Amino acid sequence: MLLERLSLAGIARVTGVSELWLQRYVNAKYASVPRSVNVSAKKRGA
């Protein structure tokens, strides 16, 4: 992914999709990402 911020309008214009379609696609992808993070404790002193 790019390391810079791009507006949805810019992405829609370059890719040729509508802003509405792109916004719905992004929202669906965002909703499908799990919200919990599994973190393991590190052993200290090693």
Over 80: is that where the pLDDT of 4 sits?
no
- Going by C-alpha positions, the residue among 25, 3, 29, 2 that lies closest to residue 12 is 25
What tens digit of pLDDT does each residue of 30-44 get? 999 888 888 888 888
The residue assigned the tokens 């696609």 is 25
In the structure encoding, which two tokens stand for residue 41, read together? Answer: 């404790």
Q: What is the pTM of this model?
A: 0.63
Contact 8, 18 (CB under 8 A): no
Over 80: is that where the pLDDT of 2 sits?
no
Helices (H), 1-46: 8-15, 19-32
Residue 41, CB half-sphere, CA atoms under 13 Å: how many? 3
